[in-house]
């Protein structure tokens, strides 16, 4: 009977879950907006699939994976792996530019969360340290965490927003670092594929 009562109450608990989401919070609105853009892009791609060739689909996949990976949607998307794979068949230069631009745009979600002034991270020790570095060498820190793959960019982005770092300066530095990162990976994967092809005579 205990399990029956739990099973009977499960639909009621599920029905109450959406009510717990406070859509007035900026962070939820940001996630909703980004998710809407992603869904709209997927729907548009499906509706217009007959007008797209393999090249357009490949570049679209690169942009979408980079955007989702950087937007904090909690969806595991291997953006670097996608860029690496597509760079073997497509232009590594365009792959780097498109992926870097999309990922830089996605990082605005963390910047906006910090800009709203909400205490998202609870003033953790690592946040306080990164915020101090942002105050002293903001552009350098942004460039380094954009160039080198790492798990702390979201924290740096939140710190940049909380400190009211100029948004165009934020985008310029982050875009430069992200594009360089993806260009390096794209050309490295392309060169590696050519080397393996020549090595095995394929």
Contact predicate 64/38, CB 8 Å:
yes
Taking the CA atoms of the chain, what radius of gyration do you get in angstroms? Answer: 21
- Residue 200 CB neighbours (<10 A): 7
Range of the domain at 52: 2-200
150's torsion region: left (phi>0), alpha (psi -120 to 50) or beta? beta
Average pLDDT over residues 140-167: 90
What pLDDT is attached to residue 13?
42
pLDDT of 50 strictly over 60: no
State the sign of the Cα–Cα–Cα–Cα dihedral 194, 199, 201, 202.
Answer: negative
Angle between helices 108-115 and 92-106 (to 10 degrees): 20
pLDDT band at 71 (very low <50, low <70, confident <90, very high): confident
Q: If you write DSSP's letter for every residue of 142-193 in order, what string do you get?
A: HHHHHHS--S-HHHHHHHHHHTT--HHHHHHHHHHHHHHHHHHHHHHHHHHH
Structure-block tokens of residue 167: 């948004």
In angstroms, the CA 68 to CA 35 distance is: 8
Structure-block tokens of residue 127: 């946040």
In angstroms, the CA 15 to CA 81 distance is: 38
What pLDDT is attached to residue 141?
94
Strand, helix or coil for residue 114:
helix
pLDDT band at 81 (very low <50, low <70, confident <90, very high): confident
Average pLDDT over the chain reads: 75
What pLDDT is attached to residue 3?
40
Average pLDDT over residues 139-157: 90
The tens digit of pLDDT for each residue in 109-144 reads 888 888 877 556 656 788 888 888 999 888 999 999
What's the total number of domains in the chain? 1
């Amino acid at each position: 009977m205990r399990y029956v009562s739990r099973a009977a109450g499960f639909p009621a608990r599920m029905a109450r879950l959406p009510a717990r989401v406070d859509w007035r919070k900026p962070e939820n609105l940001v996630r909703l907006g980004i998710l809407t853009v992603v869904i709209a892009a997927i729907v548009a791609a499906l509706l217009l699939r007959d007008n797209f060739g393999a090249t357009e689909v490949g570049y679209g996949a690169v942009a979408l994976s980079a955007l989702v990976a950087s937007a904090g949607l909690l969806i595991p998307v291997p953006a670097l792996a996608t860029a690496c794979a597509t760079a073997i068949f497509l232009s590594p230069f365009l792959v780097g530019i498109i992926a870097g631009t999309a990922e830089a745009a996605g990082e605005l979600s963390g910047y906006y969360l910090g800009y709203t002034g909400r205490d998202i991270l609870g003033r953790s020790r690592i946040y306080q340290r990164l915020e101090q570095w942002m105050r002293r060498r903001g552009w350098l820190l942004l460039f380094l965490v954009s160039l080198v793959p790492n798990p702390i960019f979201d924290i740096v982005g939140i710190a940049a927003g909380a400190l009211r770092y100029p948004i165009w300066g934020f985008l310029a530095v982050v875009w430069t670092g992200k594009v360089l990162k993806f260009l390096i990976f794209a050309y490295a994967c392309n060169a590696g594929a050519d080397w393996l092809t020549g090595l095995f005579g394929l």
